[in-house]
């Protein structure tokens, strides 16, 4: 077993340390404490402690051994120096100072003169008066109460590992040359230990990231439904990096608009305000430039004051921090994955950014595959629609047309039987109406094409009514129906079809007029007949009232309004408006 003196003799000979600097009397508490600290440093270096715990022990024990108030360690992160650990020799916690320390940097070398000098000269820098020399930032002196500072380079085979900082802050005692030499003996060993531990941590981090990505891939790859895929991506991304909420904005096929598509734990107020919104890509030029030129990701821990996030959308989000990552695969820009923190200010480490970019890679591919699957399903449905429409046209439609012709023959030869002739006319009217509905159904289930689809459907409805209906129809159309969205256009055509059907079946009218007017931000419609007017209320499900309820329900479903009035001198007037232009 080593004696106290043998332990001191076993110190690394990397730096020339006079024995008088550390050889104290055997009974000296100071000597025993220092040597005990050296033993603990050696034990920590050779241990399998996790990286953070190792840094904590090394910082505290180095401060104790060197006889200074505090020891801090900055590590090299992509060419910048980031705060990693700071401990008082006493080991007592100081939460406010620790929070302030962690909020520092990362710093480029030219931002802190002490960094630049110690690493360029490969020599320690002793700053006896931090306030006067300007070698350390003024706000460090004010925040941490620095009285004297010693900065050492941490090097491994001429490679920068980081810097070691020793300082006195509890009193004005200067750091001595003897303390500097003692710290130098420890610094090389710390650099080796920190570098090795960091490499182990990095390998472990990469292993964990690979496992996370595999799990994410299994989760989002178990569905091909686009909406479900996007929701799973948002959820897994938030869980992977500890975000408060996440959102996915997909680009439209022409890449001109962003569409809010899915989210995880998105505030309800924001979700309600953005539903159905389309955001022009050109409004995000600055972010697009950063994402395309600098990296795949861009972030901020001060969104309200960051000019890169000045768009009104980010103000509405009300988030403190945000990380945006491009969704890009196979040369195609799919959209953006947004990870958000409401009040927190997370550190966007390279490991965290690499993880979210790995998730984004899988997400983009999954979204593209889901879209392809969706198109394949639409194509299959389209083919089935064509087959069914052809079957209806070739079989049922032709049969009904034959029935109408035969009824015409019967009417021609039944001129003397009045009762029979009236009944045959009624049957012919019903058959013609069935043909009208069938033609409309065939057109509806046929594949839809182009922005003018709803206008074409409406004109086809009018043509069929005039061909097979028993009433003259006066039709007026003004404006461009191509401006209607899919849901609004479908509702308009279905409402007008139901209104005409009610006239034929219940109104006992001799004529009907229909008007459609695209005006402002809505489309106005009106159907007027000269029949018996509003059907009287009765028990059960009265057919006339049911038809009017269907009209009202369809209009309300798209946010429109409809009214039913008695026409003067007779008949019914159906008029309303559908928004959404």
What domains are there in the chain, each with its CATH number?
4-203 (3.30.450.40), 211-362 (3.30.450.40), 468-581 (3.30.565.10)
CB within 8 Å of 207: residues ≥ 6 apart: none
The mean pLDDT of 23-33, rounded to a whole number, is: 47
User: How many Å apart are CA 452 and CA 373, to the nearest integer?
Assistant: 26
Q: Identify the pLDDT of residue 142.
A: 93
List pLDDT tens digits, range 243-264: 999 988 988 877 888 888 888 9
Give the residue, 219 or 116, on which the prediction is more confident: 116
Q: Identify the pLDDT of residue 13.
A: 35
Inform me whether the pLDDT recorded for 187 exceeds 60.
yes
Q: How many CB atoms lie within 10 A of CB 70?
A: 26
- Closest CA relative to residue 220, chosen from 211, 208, 209, 233: 233
**Mean pLDDT score across all residues of the chain:** 80
Q: Identify the pLDDT of residue 135.
A: 93
Name the band, by pLDDT with cuts 50, 70 and 90, for residue 21. very low
Q: Identify the pLDDT of residue 96.
A: 93
149 neighbors 165 (Cβ within 8 angstroms): yes
125 neighbors 82 (Cβ within 8 angstroms): no
- Closest CA relative to residue 96, chosen from 168, 134, 162, 145: 145
Whole-model pTM: value is: 0.47
The two beta strands, 245-251 and 159-168, are unpaired
The mean pLDDT of 304-313, rounded to a whole number, is: 88
Q: How many CB atoms lie within 10 A of CB 318?
A: 14
Q: Identify the pLDDT of residue 401.
A: 61
User: How many Å apart are CA 122 and CA 155, to the nearest integer?
Assistant: 8
Least confident among 15-29, 58-72, 386-400, 417-431: 15-29
Inform me whether the pLDDT recorded for 563 exceeds 70.
yes
The mean pLDDT of 47-64, rounded to a whole number, is: 85
Q: Identify the pLDDT of residue 404.
A: 67
The torsion defined by the Cα of 541, 542, 544 and 549, in degrees rounded to 10, comes to: -30
| % of the chain exceeding 70 in pLDDT | 80
Q: Identify the pLDDT of residue 11.
A: 40
The mean pLDDT of 362-379, rounded to a whole number, is: 82
User: How many Å apart are CA 464 and CA 433, to the nearest integer?
Assistant: 9
Inform me whether the pLDDT recorded for 191 exceeds 60.
yes
List pLDDT tens digits, range 90-140: 999 999 999 999 989 788 888 999 999 999 999 999 999 998 898 999 999
Inform me whether the pLDDT recorded for 559 exceeds 70.
yes
User: How many Å apart are CA 478 and CA 482, to the nearest integer?
Assistant: 12
Long-range contacts of 456-463 (CB under 8 A, 24+ apart): 457/489, 457/493, 458/492, 458/493, 458/496, 458/516, 461/493, 461/496, 461/497, 461/500, 462/514
CA–CA distance from 211 to each of 214, 217, 359, 455 (Å)?
A: 5, 10, 12, 54
**Alpha-carbon dihedral sign for residues 235, 241, 243, 249:** negative
DSSP type of residue 114: H
List pLDDT tens digits, range 385-405: 777 766 665 556 656 666 766
Q: Identify the pLDDT of residue 139.
A: 92
Inform me whether the pLDDT recorded for 576 exceeds 60.
yes
Give the residue, 199 or 145, on which the prediction is more confident: 145
| % of the chain exceeding 90 in pLDDT | 22
Name the band, by pLDDT with cuts 50, 70 and 90, for residue 289. confident
List pLDDT tens digits, range 426-457: 777 777 777 666 766 666 666 654 445 778 88
Inform me whether the pLDDT recorded for 83 exceeds 80.
yes
């Amino acid at each position: 077993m080593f004696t106290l003196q043998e332990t001191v003799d076993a110190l690394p000979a990397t730096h020339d340390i006079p024995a008088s600097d550390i050889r104290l009397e055997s009974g000296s508490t100071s000597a025993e404490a220092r040597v005990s600290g050296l033993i603990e440093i050696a034990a920590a270096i050779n241990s399998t402690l996790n990286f953070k715990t190792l840094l904590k022990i090394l910082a505290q024990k180095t401060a104790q051994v060197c006889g200074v108030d505090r020891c801090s360690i900055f590590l090299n992160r992509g060419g910048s120096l980031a705060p990693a650990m700071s401990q008082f020799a006493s080991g007592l916690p100081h939460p406010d100072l620790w929070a302030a320390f962690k909020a520092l940097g990362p710093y480029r070398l030219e931002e802190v003169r002490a960094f630049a000098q110690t690493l360029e000269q490969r020599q320690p820098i002793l700053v006896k008066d931090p306030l006067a020399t300007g070698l350390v930032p003024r706000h460090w002196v004010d925040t941490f109460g620095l009285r004297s500072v010693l900065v050492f380079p941490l090097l491994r085979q001429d490679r920068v590992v980081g810097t070691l900082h020793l300082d006195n802050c509890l009193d004005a005692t200067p750091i001595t040359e003897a303390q500097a030499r003692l710290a130098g003996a420890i610094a090389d060993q710390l650099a080796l230990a920190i570098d090795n531990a960091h490499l182990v941590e990095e390998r472990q981090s990469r292993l964990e990231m690979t496992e996370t990505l595999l799990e994410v891939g299994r989760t989002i790859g178990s569905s091909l439904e686009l909406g479900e895929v996007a929701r799973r991506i948002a959820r897994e991304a938030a869980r992977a990096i500890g975000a408060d909420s996440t959102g996915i904005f997909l680009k439209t096929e022409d890449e001109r608009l962003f569409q809010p598509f899915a989210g995880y734990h998105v505030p309800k107020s924001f979700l309600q305000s953005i539903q159905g919104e389309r955001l022009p890509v050109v409004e995000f030029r600055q972010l697009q430039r950063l994402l395309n030129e600098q990296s795949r990701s861009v972030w901020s821990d001060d969104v309200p004051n960051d000019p890169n996030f000045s768009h009104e959308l980010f103000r509405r989000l009300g988030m403190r921090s945000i990380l945006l990552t491009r969704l890009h695969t196979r040369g195609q820009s799919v959209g953006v994955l947004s990870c958000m923190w409401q009040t927190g200010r997370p550190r966007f480490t390279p490991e965290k950014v690499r993880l979210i970019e790995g998730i984004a890679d899988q997400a983009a591919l999954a979204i593209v595959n889901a879209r392809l699957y969706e198109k394949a399903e639409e194509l299959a449905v389209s083919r089935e629609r064509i087959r069914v429409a052809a079957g209806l046209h070739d079989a049922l439609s032709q049969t009904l047309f034959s029935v109408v012709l035969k009824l015409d023959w019967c009417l021609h030869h039944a001129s003397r039987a009045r009762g029979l002739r009236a009944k045959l006319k009624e049957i012919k009217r019903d058959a013609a109406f069935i043909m009208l509905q069938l033609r409309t159904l065939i057109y509806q289930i046929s594949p839809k094409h182009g922005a003018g689809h709803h206008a074409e459907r409406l004109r086809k409805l009018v043509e069929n009514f005039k061909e097979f209906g028993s009433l003259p129809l006066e039709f007026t159309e003004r404006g461009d129906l191509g401006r209607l969205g899919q849901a609004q256009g479908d509702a308009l055509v279905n409402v007008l079809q139901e209104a005409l059907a009610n006239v034929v079946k219940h109104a006992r009218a001799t004529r009907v007029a229909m008007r459609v007017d695209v005006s402002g931000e809505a489309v106005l419609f009106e159907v007027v007949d000269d029949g018996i007017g509003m059907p009287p209320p009765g028990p059960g499900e009265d057919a006339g009232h049911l038809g009017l309820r269907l009209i009202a329900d369809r209009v309300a479903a798209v946010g429109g309004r409809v009214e039913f009035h008695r026409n003067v001198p007779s008949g019914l007037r159906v008029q309303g408006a559908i928004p959404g232009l």
